[in-house]
Amino acid sequence: MFSLFSYPFLMISLLIVILLTPAREELLNNNFIIIMSTIALFNVISFFRTLTLYYKTWIRFDVLFLLGYLIVHFQIAFFYSAFGIKPADNNFWVNIFVVNYAIWLSTIVLLLWMLGFYTYISLKKNKKVVQPKEYYIRKNKNFDLYLVLSFILFVGLVGQNFWSGNHAGLSNWNAGATYAFLIFRTILFLAVIYFFVNNKGKLVSMSSLGNALFQNRLLVVICIIYTLSFLLQGDRGPVMQFGLMILGCYSIFQNNFSFKKVLVITLSGAFVFTLIGLGRTNDVTSRQGNIFSAGMESFQENEDIVSPTDELAKSATILFTALDVVPDKHPYLNGATVFNNLVEVVPMSSLFYNPPKIYQSSTSFFTYLIYGEYPNWGVGSEVIADLYVNFGVFITLAIFFVFGYYLSYLTFESHINKNYMNILVYLMILMLAIYINRSIFLNPLKFIFYLLIFNALLGKKIYVKT
């Protein structure tokens, strides 16, 4: 199927999209948006069908990333053009004259990402797969102590506002809590990964799972506290990332996830996260009951249809902002915020490198453009816009092709060859697969950097003699 349909279909789609390249600014064309959205959707379906020939599990980066990509870049524009459903936010379009170009750019970026992914598969499909060697991870003898101490440090520094249940993002946290959390979460993630590596293929029944969890009861208790703490104050990001990492570990080291299972997990998770979003508040004293009951009450009282994808889909407005402002009203950043993202990976880098606030990241840049110099909150970023404002269209397209190729490599090395170091990198990218669409392109870099450093210090891979 790969050689007979998917690849030619993608190339024909690319040719059509290039031939239909719109002007940089023009009137919104409903038919054009429907055509671009349809090309994107059918290529994603074809892509998924092709990948089933290579991977039996549906918990993969490409699945989550592409679903999030379709939601962010096409949902609202397609519903508006096809069904006349207007966005809830009247300022969503920013500049309606750049919408056609934004949809076109989103389509060609998607196709080039998939082309990169296909390219690696085509190079690997005729090569012999090497049987991966069996190994386990020997933890540092003080590993559990480091986990507990980092947890206590985070609890002590994060402050009362966090534990009260108020939702105020990082403004909930006291000084130093960010670094304490980064250390604690990295060690916690490693503990979970080590658990799955060292129980590879053993969690085949409820009794074996229960026994393994009992033997790691300290880890289980900390995982429960970690999850409930963020859920009850309405911060869904850390919980979703943690959950995706666990699912990724299970998929790689234990058993495959069918499409039906992933669909059930996705729908149930989206519903729960929607309730949490509706029930959270920055003043917990005004809330009746817990966050879940408050969310359910708000859901029942809301006369409008609440879609769990609406919040994600709104991020498309960042791309419209980028195309509206750069380069006509503000020059390209020439990689400034991307460079800053690289510097941020270094601990305490703000002590010796402090660029102007507007250029610290594309998130700061877009927040400044929309709300001015003294904003009350940040607007986030968007994965295409982050690269576009730095490098322009053509370099952005090239980067996405390479990105697709690299993710294809990581997926193969993680799911087929079971290469341990690649798995560590893959899991850190996997847990951000959905969120990266509404974030900066290098978002996973800090997670990868710290995980690899702490893994080198706290764990050692030991091959099993056969």
Find the mean pLDDT for residues 132-138: 85
Q: Is the pLDDT of residue 126 over 80?
A: no
Provide the residue ranges of all domains of the chain, joining segments of one domain with +: 2-127+380-463, 135-256
Pick from 1-5, 202-206, 302-306: least confident:
1-5
Length of the chain: 466
Q: Across the strands, what pairs with 137?
A: 461
pLDDT bracket for residue 132 (50, 70, 90): confident
Q: What is the pLDDT of residue 84?
A: 94
Q: Assign 140 to helix, strand or coil.
A: coil
| Choice between 128 and 379, residue whose per-residue pLDDT is larger | 379
- The runs of H, that is alpha helices, within 134-176 are 143-158, 160-163
Find the mean pLDDT for residues 76-90: 92
Cβ distance 159 to 420 under 8 Å?
no
Q: What is the DSSP string of 25-87?
A: S----HHHHHHHHHHHHHHHHHHHHHHTTT---S-SHHHHHHHHHHHHHHHHHHHHHHH----
* R_g (Cα) of the chain, nearest Å: 23
Q: What is the pLDDT of residue 180?
A: 87
Pick from 200-209, 215-224, 232-241, 274-283: least confident:
274-283
For 294-324, b/e burial (b = at least 16 CB within 10 A) is bbebbeeeeeeeeebbbebbbbbbbbbbbbb
Environment class of 351 (CB within 10 Å of its CB; exposed 0-12, middle 13-18, buried 19+): exposed
pLDDT digits over 216-241, tens only? 999 999 999 999 888 877 778 889 99
Strand segments (E) across 160-300 = none
Q: Assign 461 to helix, strand or coil.
A: strand
Cβ-based neighbour number of residue 163 at 10 Å: 13
Q: Is the pLDDT of residue 165 over 80?
A: no
Q: Is the pLDDT of residue 32 over 50?
A: yes
Q: What is the pLDDT of residue 290?
A: 60
Q: What is the pLDDT of residue 186?
A: 96
Q: Assign 463 to helix, strand or coil.
A: strand
Residues 6+ apart with CB under 8 A from 166: 172, 233, 281, 282, 283, 284
Cβ-based neighbour number of residue 125 at 10 Å: 11
DSSP state of 139: E
Nearest to 115 by CA among 32, 4, 13, 42: 13
pLDDT bracket for residue 1 (50, 70, 90): very low
Single pTM value for the model: 0.92
The span from the CA of 86 to the CA of 462, in Å, is 57
Q: Is the pLDDT of residue 281 over 80?
A: no
Pick from 183-192, 240-249, 350-359: least confident:
350-359
The helix, strand and coil proportions of the chain, stated in percent and rounded to the nearest 5, come to 70, 0, 30
Q: Is the pLDDT of residue 154 over 70?
A: yes
Nearest to 386 by CA among 331, 439, 312, 325: 439
Find the mean pLDDT for residues 39-56: 94
Q: Is the pLDDT of residue 303 over 50?
A: yes
Q: Is the pLDDT of residue 55 over 70?
A: yes
Please give the single-letter amino acid code of residue 115: L
